[in-house]
Structures are given as C-alpha cells and as structure tokens.
Structure 1
Amino acid sequence: MGPHVAVTPGPHQAAIAIALNIPVGTVRSRLNRARRKLRIAIDPGAARDEEVEHERGLAPASD
C-alpha cells in the first residue's frame, strides 16, 4: 500500500491496520495528518486558517 490510500477510495481503516500490523487509531491519525499536509500543500493559506480555528476552539489541535 502506498500514499494513494489517503486520497482515494480503498480499503477500510481496519484492513489497513491489519495489513500494516498497527492500531486503527494510528491509521486514523496518519490519514488525518496526511490530509492536513496535502490540504496545506495545495493551499498554503489553509495552515493559517487551521490555526485561527484552533484558537477559537473550532478545530482539533495539530499533530
């Protein structure tokens, strides 16, 4: 499995966890981190938007 798992439909998170022999929570965390990095790579202003939302209590803390 490669990075495409994070951006295209595919195996469920549980299947990914089993294939990589890691907890499902770790899969979720890594996918969320990858999505955030991709979002910021596409739109650098998104990083500042997330900081403002976090300060206002509207978004989870960054990893």
Structure 2
Amino acid sequence: MTQQAKITFVTGGSGGIGKSACARMLAHTLGLHGYRTGLVDGNPGQQSQRSYLRIPDSKALEYAMV
C-alpha cells in the first residue's frame, strides 16, 4: 500500500498576523500525535522559523548535502 504525503500551507497577507507562529504550533502538535513533520520557511530573506528555533545557518536546508 502506497502512502501519500499530506501538505499544508499556512499563508496570509501582511506580516505580523501569526503565520509563522501558527505553522510552528501546527507542526509541533502533529509531531506530538506521531506524525512526521517538516517545517519550511518560505521567506529566504527573513527565516523567522530558523531564528525562533535557534537553528544555526550551518544547519539550514539550503546548505544540506543531497
């Protein structure tokens, strides 16, 4: 049986409306319930998720070796 990944996007208009916080809470809650989650910040100039989670630039997705 093949399983399909479900993808959820958190989007909105202007800054400061809670998109990043909502995405973090959603990923965290799904993880607590046993789902494998990945959190990707789509704003390469800001990277608020990486900053909030204190992930060093050396561990950034754009520097990953494939």
TM-score for both structures, normalised by structure 1: 0.35
The answer to which structure, 1 or 2, has the higher relative contact order (CA under 8 A, 6+ apart) is: 1
Q: In proportion to residue count, which structure has more helix?
A: 1
> Structure 2-normalised TM-score?
0.33
